[in-house]
Chains A and B, each alone.
Chain A
Amino acid sequence: MATSSSSKFFSHPVVKWIEYRLPIFSFVDHSLGSQYPAPKNLSYWWNFGSLAGAMLSIMILSGIFLAMNYTPHAAMAFDSVERIMRDVNYGWLMRYIHMNGGSFFFIAVYIHLLRGFYYGSYKYPREVLWWLGVIILLLMMATAFMGYVLPWGQMSFWGATVITNLFSAIPLVGDSIVTLLWGGFAVDNPTLNRFFSLHYLLPFVIVGVVVAHIWALHIHGSNNPLGIDTKGPQDKIPFHPYYTVKDAFGLAVFLLIYAGFVFFAPNFFGEPDNYIQANPLSTPPHIVPEWYFLPYYAILRSIPDKLLGVIAMFSSILILFVLPWLDTSRVRSGRFRPVFRWFFALFVLDAFALGAVGAHPPEGWWLVVGRVATFWYFFHFIIIMPLLGWFERPLPLPASISEPVLGGARPAGAAVRSMEKN
């Protein structure tokens, strides 16, 4: 379909030669280039999708170099990580990039997800796009959890023990599942081996789902801060150069903050206990997961029953799959939903409260806060979201994207002309 126009479009003879045989240049151009129209009013909150993609690439690249020097054996893993830190040229750099990269990948994805929440990006017709995003989140969590086990420090070992043991709560088959995960009857060398294998595999599965995520995105295009559909070419600008340069600027700023941690506080997100080699005979006083798991850990520990706690923890993610139907409002953007906006702020507060609870032992008022916050987490999705759609009176929506941007007076600007030129 692209070949007919591409011969006009590309002028370089080598590009033309390849394009005639494999239309890869027009494919890229239609995917992320000048032939992909995007709403003209996307804010910087829309940068975090490409930032997450950049972090995925950084994680895969740094991970490949680490794997060249890492030994997945219970007796040698910890030593091999220290060898990477001390004796491998720039090994410390690769490891700190990878360690902190996990955190920054989650930062980008969580902001991306909250942006979707606020602007209703999960609503018709983007439900499958949203599902694919939730699947990516689940895969990321599995990957991150198994990656944290690989250095074979105390937190690696005991985190793995606690989390894998959760599956024993499943009736009938629970214990068999745990044995299967461990490859034996305790967290040991077989566990480390299979986690390493899966930790290397899953990122490429994520890449596959990301491709599907972007594919689904391209069917109806990006949502936008107004949450209304684009009405015509005057509402759109080509992705390249407008959003490529905006994403590049966002990436540079994000990398600046990320590099600040890699070079000046590389162990900020880590636990000192993970610099002690795994010891099955000595349990650390507080077993805490990485920060990005703290809210789920808080939900797990807020419920007195083990099975119900595990169900609640997994439900806290799985509930996102049905969010497009729990939200009964037909207005996408929180900008036009005066009541939802406050509940959104409360939900963000609730998520952070759960994170704080997860970092503390479940005692005293932390336990109380954890239970209230867990209740509110589900109450928000199951009760507030449907009710808001029925009772909230949204503000009047603008007629089109161009109207508020251009004040309705000026005709479509130069952006449209550049589209036509192409």
Chain B
Amino acid sequence: MRKLALTLAASAALVALSLAAPVRAEDEIKLPSPGWSFKGPFGTYDRAALQRGFQVYKEVCSACHSLNYVHYRDLGPAGPDGGIGFSEEEVKAIAAGVQVTDGPNDNGDMFERPGRPYDKFKAPFANANAARASNNGALPPDLSLIVKAREGFEDYVYGILTGFADPPADMKMMDGMNYNKYFPGHQIAMPPPLTDDRVTYADGTKATVAQEAHDVVTFLSWASEPTLEMRKRIGMKSMIFLLVLSGLLYAVKRKVWRDVH
């Protein structure tokens, strides 16, 4: 009787929990799920995909989107979690490819200098107003946290990049807007950024839209959560430690309580 009541309460609780899952806007559309190397308890970032994804960001996205929380040094072998695998020389060369404003110097003047690994990624616009002025009034969001900041996460960003299509015949599009299957409201200010062979990969990978999207979303997932691999590594050790500790403490508990039962 008591067991039954408790079981009932527990199963009711489980049902309620599944119902309590957060609401998602545009629930009717199922996001694509192309599969990611970094999912699951042992998942890690695919270094080749990260480097290709960085190339897509640099050659395509960075024209409008900033990456304010990432430093050039993070790309190297010694980023917060091993970086994305460029050598220190390559990182220096990448950083030197942009001009950053520094100063003031001894004369009180600001000056331009080549970027260094400790600099943050240079933003394409000086401020939000400049970004809006160049983009038909729309503000291209910073991409540092884009994967963590959207319901659907990497699948959503991948969906946006691959979800451009012609609008349905009965849909009235606003001026300058583009139809996207996965964007809430389906009208997005961003024009389709990726096309086949938009970039040329050094490793010979064929640059289809799906491939470019997959690579850049892998890169942006890393930008959102650069410590993911370290977290899982420490996590595994912690779980094993706590599992053994629980087992030992259970044995001690049994031994101590032997006389009471």
Give the interface of A toward B (CB within 8 A).
40, 79, 82, 85-87, 92-93, 96, 237, 241-242, 245-246, 248-249, 252-253, 255-256, 259-260, 262-264, 266-267, 271-273, 275-276, 285-286, 288, 291, 294, 334-335, 338, 341-342, 344-345, 348-349, 352-353, 355-356, 358-361, 413-415, 418
One of A249, A264, A276, A291 near B250 (C-beta < 8 A): A249
Min CB–CB distance A298 → chain B (angstroms): 10
Chain B residues whose C-beta falls within 8 Å of the C-beta of A87 in the assembled complex: 80
What is the bound-complex CA distance between A167 and B25, given in angstroms? 30
Chain B residues whose C-beta falls within 8 Å of the C-beta of A358 in the assembled complex: 20
Inter-subunit contact A259/B149 (CB<8 Å) = no
One of B2, B9, B231, B260 near A40 (C-beta < 8 A): B260
Inter-subunit contact B1/A338 (CB<8 Å) = yes
7 contacts between A and B (CB under 8 A): A86-B227, A245-B249, A263-B239, A264-B41, A352-B13, A359-B21, A415-B260
Inter-subunit contact B235/A264 (CB<8 Å) = yes
Inter-subunit contact A242/B235 (CB<8 Å) = no
What is the bound-complex CA distance between A338 and B249, given in angstroms? 36
Inter-subunit contact A263/B231 (CB<8 Å) = yes
Interface residues of B in 1-58 (CB under 8 A from A): 1-2, 5-6, 8-9, 12-13, 16-17, 19-23, 25, 41
Chain A residues whose C-beta falls within 8 Å of the C-beta of B1 in the assembled complex: 338, 341
One of A249, A288, A349 near B22 (C-beta < 8 A): A288
Stretch at the interface among B163-171, B187-195, B213-221, B251-259: B251-259
What is the bound-complex CA distance between A359 and B24, given in angstroms? 11
Stretch at the interface among B83-91, B96-104, B196-204, B240-248: B240-248
What is the bound-complex CA distance between A361 and B24, given in angstroms? 11
One of B6, B16, B69 near A353 (C-beta < 8 A): B16
Inter-subunit contact A256/B256 (CB<8 Å) = no
Please count how many residues in chain B sit with their CB below 8 Å of the partner chain's CB atoms. 51
Interface centre among A96, A344, A359, A414 (most CB of B within 10 A): A359
One of A242, A291, A360 near B257 (C-beta < 8 A): A242
Inter-subunit contact A359/B257 (CB<8 Å) = no
Chain B residues whose C-beta falls within 8 Å of the C-beta of A242 in the assembled complex: 256-257, 260
Interface membership of B113, Cβ < 8 A? no
Please list the 3 inter-chain residue pairs (A to B) with the smallest Cβ-Cβ separation, ordered nearest first: A263-B235, A352-B16, A414-B259
Chain A residues whose C-beta falls within 8 Å of the C-beta of B21 in the assembled complex: 359
Considering the complex, give the chain B residue whose CB is closest to the CB of A96. B231
Inter-subunit contact B16/A356 (CB<8 Å) = yes
Inter-subunit contact A345/B242 (CB<8 Å) = no
Inter-subunit contact A348/B22 (CB<8 Å) = no
Min CB–CB distance B231 → chain A (angstroms): 6
Considering the complex, give the chain A residue whose CB is closest to the CB of B14. A352
Known contacts A245-B253, A263-B238: does B16 contact A275 (CB below 8 Å)? Answer: no
What is the bound-complex CA distance between A353 and B13, given in angstroms? 8
Inter-subunit contact B80/A86 (CB<8 Å) = yes
Chain B residues whose C-beta falls within 8 Å of the C-beta of A40 in the assembled complex: 260
What is the bound-complex CA distance between A415 and B256, given in angstroms? 10
Sample of 14 further A-B pairs with CB below 8 A, known A286-B25, A348-B12, A355-B17: A82-B144, A92-B230, A256-B243, A272-B151, A276-B149, A286-B23, A335-B2, A345-B8, A345-B9, A349-B9, A355-B20, A413-B259, A413-B260, A418-B259
Chain B residues whose C-beta falls within 8 Å of the C-beta of A291 in the assembled complex: 20
Inter-subunit contact A285/B19 (CB<8 Å) = no
Interface membership of B92, Cβ < 8 A? no
Inter-subunit contact A275/B249 (CB<8 Å) = no
One of B74, B239, B252 near A256 (C-beta < 8 A): B239
Interface membership of B115, Cβ < 8 A? no
